[in-house]
Structure 1
């Protein structure tokens, strides 16, 4: 199986499994960050509300990320090596993974951002389904335009995802490489990759919580507002500590989710790379 389909199928499995398992924690995080606080936006009721939009987008979004990431890791490394002719292998690796993951995130956000807008508005609404929320957004298209509705928070999402991925993936790849080298292996087993993904994801999640908070508030905002004006208003009305709202659920969710997301990716990628046993081999 070629690299494109390996990335496509492994990414799809990773994205879907993670969203299904950890959606309730994401709902809690979103309600903690929404204006008015957790209980004013639904509390523990309907914690799977908005799951439809997440599941529909998770497979293609994750697939698009890994297709771009895996492709760029191979194609960009020779050019980066030329940029740092005297650079260490670790510097070249880190730069390659930062660039590749950043491009992967930008591509994935073409699908992820509209799904996030629908999902988060559904999570804090008392009655809407994902489909009803999407219809409501599309009805407002004539007033503000489709881009300002479905892609509200695009710039903040990119602003959050690129720092996040520039921390997570170089660290993830470094931990895998170090663990494999310590055991005299070329690569680690999928379960070890899952542990590396959990550690890297948790560190990246905690560090970028303020960016995630701003992204959530912009997506939930019903009117067009600049990022600067939103930051100033929140700071004046709610204080600086509010920017770390949801840091616990976010770190827990992404740390555990990183284990499933990257562990599932490694597992499916490994199975497809080796090929499934034939009927005769299974009998033997």
Structure 2
């Protein structure tokens, strides 16, 4: 089981790492979102307002990554007690997949608001948030939750498995 220090380390380190990555790559994400926009890249804002939607990313990034790592580490500690070392890659895959399921509870609403603000930069993050609540209710923030969980948990489980497999070679 995880001790208090392990929990806190997982929470803070995971949250900070996720926030650093998300905020560093934010402009690239905006360009990608606008390239995929139905209104076209330039009509969606082009290179103007490249940080549109950053408040949503900044607010969701830390808790999203922290929840992933806390869930991942906790699951590993619980499952690690009942399996052999041969089954360790399976434990890591399950832990990573469960971490993604939990993290997506925060990631998906944050992404919905962020992407809409990126595609319609003149609205602003707060207006996008309010419009989503008014027009779609709370479930509007979870549009695409199932497909996001499927994609993320598959990638996460596979990625962890590949890293562990490669580490046994060296």
Q: TM-score, normalised by structure 2?
A: 0.89
Whether the aligned pair in 2 keeps the contact of 1:94 and 1:170 (CA below 8 Å) is yes
Deviation at 1:126, TM superposition (A): 3.4
TM alignment of 1:191-270, pairs within 5 A: none
Which secondary structure state, in structure 1, belongs to the residue aligned with residue 82 of structure 2?
helix
Whether the aligned pair in 1 keeps the contact of 2:53 and 2:121 (CA below 8 Å) is no
CA distance in 2, matches of 1:50, 1:126: 8
Deviation at 1:174, TM superposition (A): 3.7
Name the structure 2 match of 1:165: 156
Structure 1, residues 169-201: CA drift from partner, whole Å, max 9, x if none? 2223444x347xx4xxxxxxxxxxxxxxxxxxx
1:146 to 138, 142, 154: 138
The gaps in structure 1 that reach 5 residues or longer are 82-87, 183-284
Q: Which has the larger radius of gyration?
A: 1
**Is 1:73 equivalent to 2:76 in the alignment?**
yes
1:132 to 105, 108, 127: 127
CA distance in 2, matches of 1:16, 1:116: 14
For the aligned residues, what is the CA RMSD?
A: 1.9
CA distance in 2, matches of 1:99, 1:80: 13
CA distance in 2, matches of 1:128, 1:36: 15
Q: TM-score, normalised by structure 1?
A: 0.55
1:9 to 12, 17, 23: 12
CA distance in 2, matches of 1:42, 1:168: 34
Structure 1 ranges of 4+ moved more than 6 A:
none
1:99 to 90, 94, 99: 94
Which secondary structure state, in structure 2, belongs to the residue aligned with residue 35 of structure 1?
coil
Whether the aligned pair in 2 keeps the contact of 1:80 and 1:95 (CA below 8 Å) is no
